[in-house]
């Protein structure tokens, strides 16, 4: 009898974790991966909206973040943050539509996918998306300030938003296209 109980306990310990869907492990922040950590945290915060949860089976669109000063322009930074947010959502079990395979959203080589100045409802409807993640960034003297928003596709209502800053370093300078700018 003790053997049966012990065997059942071991089976339960092995099976129960497989039944749950724990969130992916958060990358620890370091100077080298601060941007990844921040993008993952942004994705996690956006989907923890009190405005009504997202259906993990319906697509979410993630667009390139754009310069706050020029909404028609992005950079390696804006495109990479969008990619990292997409990765985090997918690893957390959300359905994310890949925009780079589509033609109806403005996709310009070297610039990214833009949606902030377009009809969110129409683009989302054509993709069957429930929501869109869009955002902006602004380059400061020693930081880049980032704002991301989760926008409901049906009525363009902002469901959640998250703001953060990235420390300026050589990688960030390179990604925003200002690699030779002396800010120190």
What secondary structure does DSSP assign to 68-85, as a single string? TTBTT---HHHHHHHHHH
For the stretch 78-107, pLDDT in tens is 999 999 999 999 999 999 988 765 444 444
| 119 within 8 A of 126, measured Cβ to Cβ | no
- Contact indicator for 36, 43 with CB cutoff of 8 Å: no
pLDDT of residue 19: 45
Alpha carbon distances (Å) from 41 to 14, 28, 70, 88, 164:
29, 11, 25, 9, 10
Mean of pLDDT values over 149-160: 90
The answer, yes or no, to whether residue 153 has pLDDT greater than 60, is yes
Q: Identify the burial level of 161 via C-beta atoms within 10 angstroms of its C-beta, where 0-12 means exposed, 13-18 middle and 19 or more buried.
A: middle
Q: Is the pLDDT of residue 14 over 90?
A: no
Top mean-pLDDT range of 11-20, 24-33, 152-161: 152-161
Degrees, nearest 5: CA angle 22-24-27: 145
Task: Express each pLDDT in 138-147 by its tens digit.
Answer: 999 999 999 9
Neighbours of 176 (CB within 10 A): 19
Place of tokens 């902030």: 116
Q: Find the farthest-apart pair of alpha carbons in the chain and give their distance in angstroms, rounded.
A: 74
Q: Tokens representing 84?
A: 């990292």
CA 82 to each of CA 11, 21, 42, 165, 171: distance values in angstroms, whole numbers, following the listed order: 40, 24, 10, 15, 16
pLDDT band at residue 171, thresholds of 50, 70 and 90? confident
pLDDT at 11 over 60: no
More confident call, 127 vs 175: 175
Q: Is the pLDDT of residue 119 over 60?
A: no
152 or 15, which is more confident:
152
Task: Report the pLDDT averaged over residues 47-56.
Answer: 82
As a whole number of angstroms, the distance between CA 166 and CA 35 comes to: 7
CA distance 13 to 116: 47
- As a whole number, mean pLDDT of residues 166-179 equals 85
CA dist 135 and 165 (Å) reads 13
Domains recognised in the chain with CATH numbers: 29-175 (3.40.50.10610)
């Amino acid at each position: 009898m003790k053997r049966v109980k012990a065997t059942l306990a071991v089976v339960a310990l092995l099976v129960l974790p497989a039944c749950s869907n724990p969130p992916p492990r958060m990358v620890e922040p370091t100077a080298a991966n601060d941007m990844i950590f921040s993008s993952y945290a942004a994705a996690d915060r956006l989907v923890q909206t009190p405005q009504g949860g997202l259906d993990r089976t319906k697509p979410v669109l993630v667009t390139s973040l754009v310069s706050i000063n020029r909404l028609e322009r992005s950079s390696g930074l804006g495109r990479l943050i969008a990619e990292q947010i997409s990765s985090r959502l997918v690893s957390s079990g959300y359905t994310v539509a890949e925009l780079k395979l589509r033609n109806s959203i403005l996709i310009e080589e070297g610039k990214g996918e833009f949606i902030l100045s377009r009809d969110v409802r129409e683009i989302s409807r054509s993709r069957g998306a429930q929501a869109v993640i869009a955002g902006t960034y602004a380059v400061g003297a020693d930081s880049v300030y980032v704002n991301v928003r989760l926008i409901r596709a049906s009525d363009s209502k902002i469901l959640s938003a998250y703001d953060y800053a990235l420390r300026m370093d050589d990688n960030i300078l390179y990604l925003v296209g200002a690699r030779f700018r002396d800010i120190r």
